[in-house]
Amino acid sequence: MENEENIKVEYDESKEQIDNLQPTTITLEDGTQLFFNHITTCTMVDGKTINILTNTSSSQVCNVCGITPKDINNLTSSINRPCNTEAYKFGLSVLHSNLRTFQYLLNIAYKLDLKIWRTSPREKRQIEKRKKTNN
Ligand SMILES: [Zn+2]
């Protein structure tokens, strides 16, 4: 059964297991030893669970800075809000980074080969082709 208390208990147990992970050692044929430390973060946790773990009251409220949809377009208010940096460990919050951020990142990714912002019609066709083929 999934409720707030169970989620917090499960998270604490998982966190404890993560904290106690031992490094992996691999010994190659020539005797060389490779050591791997495991660094794990819980970035694939759903929004409801993150809200519980960050004590955020609503899915309409940013779990990093607490901003609400009413204030999200007020840049002065949103920029100066203190952030709960502990919430960063759950990954990039879409609400916190603003939805358009991902559109900008995608546009930059499509233009990585060109390394210019303004494009000619020929370059635009290249970009459109790239968007359709996803590579
Ligand atoms: Zn925020």
Taking the centre of ligand 1 as the mean of its atom positions, its distance from the CA of residue 52, in whole angstroms, is 16
Taking the centre of ligand 1 as the mean of its atom positions, its distance from the CA of residue 74, in whole angstroms, is 12
User: pTM of the predicted model, to two decimals?
Assistant: 0.65
Among residues 94, 101, 11, 99, which one has the least CA distance to residue 55? 11
- Each of the 135 residues of the chain gets a pLDDT tens digit; together they read 678 999 999 999 999 999 999 999 999 999 999 999 998 888 888 889 999 999 999 988 999 999 888 888 887 877 788 999 999 899 877 778 876 777 788 888 888 877 777 778 888 888 788 778 765
Among residues 129, 96, 98, 94, which one has the least CA distance to residue 114? 129
Taking the centre of ligand 1 as the mean of its atom positions, its distance from the CA of residue 62, in whole angstroms, is 5
Structure tokens at 35: 């050591």
Taking the centre of ligand 1 as the mean of its atom positions, its distance from the CA of residue 16, in whole angstroms, is 28
Four-CA torsion 117, 120, 122, 128, nearest 10 degrees: 40
To 5 degrees, how large is the angle CA 42–CA 47–CA 51?
90
